[in-house]
């Protein structure tokens, strides 16, 4: 099972919204049992990143900053580009 972290400034509203949306989308595609998703505070990333497989960020992160794949969470808030971003995440889950 892949561990996905979703981070925003407070770890409550925005990251939780994206985490629930992502969880529902994965369940719709029959992948709900292949990933666990946790919403966290951005200040907790150094602790969580070590044990995670995928990071979904609400903020802009520099490319290559982390050793795991980083995806944008903004498409899951706006709906614009959500399918494309979801497909990228699914590829990592299935790898």
- Read off the pLDDT of residues 20-48 as tens digits, 9 standing for 90 and up: 999 999 999 999 899 999 999 889 999 99
- 3-class DSSP assignment, residue 64: coil
Strand partners, 41: 8
What is the reported pTM?
Answer: 0.91
- 3-class DSSP assignment, residue 53: coil
Closest by Cα among 26, 30, 22, 29 to 5: 22
CA dihedral 12, 51, 33, 8 (to 10 degrees): 20
Q: Which of 4, 5, 8, 22 is catalytic?
A: 8
Tokens of residue 10, six digits: 């407070």
The predicted-structure confidence for 54-66, as pLDDT tens digits, reads as follows: 999 998 777 778 8
Catalytic residue flag (residue 8): yes
Query: Tokens 């407070």 sit at which residue?
Result: 10
Query: Is 2-93 assigned to CATH 3.40.50.2300?
Result: yes
Q: Report yes or no: 21 and 76 within 8 Å, Cβ to Cβ.
A: yes
């Amino acid at each position: 099972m892949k561990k996905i972290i979703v981070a925003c400034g407070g770890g409550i509203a925005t990251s939780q919204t994206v985490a629930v949306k992502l969880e529902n989308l994965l369940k719709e595609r029959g992948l709900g049992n292949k990933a666990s998703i946790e919403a966290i505070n951005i200040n907790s990333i150094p602790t969580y990143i070590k044990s995670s497989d995928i990071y979904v960020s609400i903020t802009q992160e520099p490319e290559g900053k982390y050793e795991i794949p980083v995806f944008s969470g903004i498409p899951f808030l706006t709906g614009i580009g959500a399918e494309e971003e979801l497909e990228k995440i699914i590829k990592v889950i299935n790898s």
